Structure 1
Amino acid sequence: MTDSSLSKVQIFTSYAHEDEELKNEMDKYLKVLKRSGKIDTWNDRALIAGQEWNDSIMDELRKADVILLLISVDFNASDFIWDKELAEAMRRHEEGSVYVVPIILRNCKWTSLPYAKLQALPRNARPILDYPDRDTAFTEVAEGIERLVDHIIAK
C-alpha cells in the first residue's frame, strides 16, 4: 500500500465513459468495503473544476494499490485508456507495485490484449451483462475485490 493510505487500500477505476452506468452500479457493491474502512476509490468523475485532468488522473493511477479495468469494446477502443491508463497500469503490474484486475463488463474481444494474462472477475471471466441477474455478477466482483483487499491488508 502507498504511504498515504495507511490502512486503506487505494482503488483506481479505469473505464470508458460509455460504461458509466455499469461503473456506477459496481460502485454500489464496493460501498460495503468503503464503509468498513478498507478502501478508498477514485475515478475521473472525482475531478473538480480547474484541475488539470491528465496530470490528476495519472497521479491517482500512480498512488493506487489496485487498478480495476472495466472491460468492454469501448474500453478497448479508447486511445486515452490504451496509451495512458492501461500502459501505466501494466507497467506498474510488471514491476510488482500494483494489482491490476480486469472486470469483464460486456462481451468483446479481449483475450489477446496485455491484461488477458491477469485473473479477471467475475468468475470464469464471464461478462457481467451475460448474467441473467446482475446482482449475482456484481456480488461476485465485490467478493473477489474484498479477498484481494484483505490479502493486501494482511501483507
Structure 2
Amino acid sequence: MARTADRDVFLNRLCNLGGKENNFVSNAKLLGELNWDEDKYKRIKAQLRQESLIVIGTGQGGSVALVSRGKAAKLKVFISYSHHDADLKDQFLKHLRPLEREQLVESWVDQQIKAGDAWDKETQKQLAAADLVLVLVSVDFINSTYCYDNELQKALDREANGSVRVIPVVMRSCLWAHSPLGQHKAVPKDGLAATSWRTLDDAFTDAATEIRRVAVAMVEER
C-alpha cells in the first residue's frame, strides 16, 4: 500500500503542533518533527503555500500555520455508521479532528445525543441540517434497516436536490459498489476498505485528505 503523501504528513504534523488555536509553528520545530532534509521541507512548504493551505509567519527562522477558516464557514458533517463499527468510527474521527481545529467542519455522531433526548428525532434533525454526510460503509451498515433504508436514503434524497454532499468511507470490504453508493467516489483511495490498508492511520489519513479537499471547495463555493 502506498505511503501517506508528503504533503499530507506535513499538514497533519503542522495541525498537531499548532493545536486547537492553530498557532504558528517555527520552521525549525516543524522540520525537526518531520525529520526531513531542508530541501524536501522547502519544496513541500512551497507547494502547500501555492495551494493556499498554509500561511507564512515572521520571526527568527520563519514560521508556518494552516490557513484559518472563519467560524461561520464551518460545514456541518453528519456521520452515518453501524454500531458494529463503533471502534473503527472512533479511530476515523481522530483523523477528522485536524479539520475541526481548522474551523473547517463540525462533526456530529449519535453518541452526542444527551440522556432524555428523543434519539430518532435528534438524529433526523442533525441529518436534515448537514452539509456533508460521511457514510461509514460495511456489511453491517448495508444490512442495517435503520442505517441503509432511513439515514442513507434520506441523505441521497437530499443530495438529489443539491442540498447535501454524500461521501462513502469504506470501513470493511463488502458489496457496497452494487448499492446506490456505487455511483459515488469513495474514500480511502479507489474505495479500498480501510481494514485492507497497511495501517488504519494510512487509510484514514488518505480519507481525511480527500474529505478536506471537498470541504474546502464547498466552503469556497458559499
Whether TM-score is above 0.5 comes out as yes
Structure 1 length-normalised TM:
0.95
Matches within 5 A, 1:104-115: 104-115=170-181
Give 1:152 deviation, angstroms: 0.7
Structure 2 length-normalised TM:
0.67
- Distance in 2 separating the partners of 1:7 and 1:132: 35
Within the alignment, does 1:19 sit opposite 2:82 as a pair? no
Corresponding residue SS for 1:6 = helix
* More RCO (CA 8 Å, sep 6+): 1
Q: CA offsets per residue over residues 100-145 of structure 1, 9 Å max, x none?
A: 0001100011111111101100010000000012111110011011
| From 127, 132, 139, the counterpart of 1:73 | 139
Q: CA RMSD in A?
A: 1.0
Q: Which amino acid aligns with 1:59?
A: K
Within the alignment, does 1:59 sit opposite 2:90 as a pair? no
Q: CA offsets per residue over residues 61-115 of structure 1, 9 Å max, x none?
A: 0100000000000000111112210111110111111110001100011111111
Give 1:9 deviation, angstroms: 0.5
Corresponding residue SS for 1:103 = strand
Which structure 1 segments of 5+ residues have no match?
none
Give the aligned partner of residue 146 of structure 1.
212
Give the aligned partner of residue 28 of structure 1.
94
Give the aligned partner of residue 91 of structure 1.
157
Q: Which amino acid aligns with 1:105?
A: M
Identity %: 33
Give the aligned partner of residue 128 of structure 1.
194
- How many residues end up aligned between the 2 structures? 151
- Distance in 2 separating the partners of 1:28 and 1:55: 27
Structure 1 or 2, whichever has the larger Rg, is 2
- Distance in 2 separating the partners of 1:82 and 1:128: 20
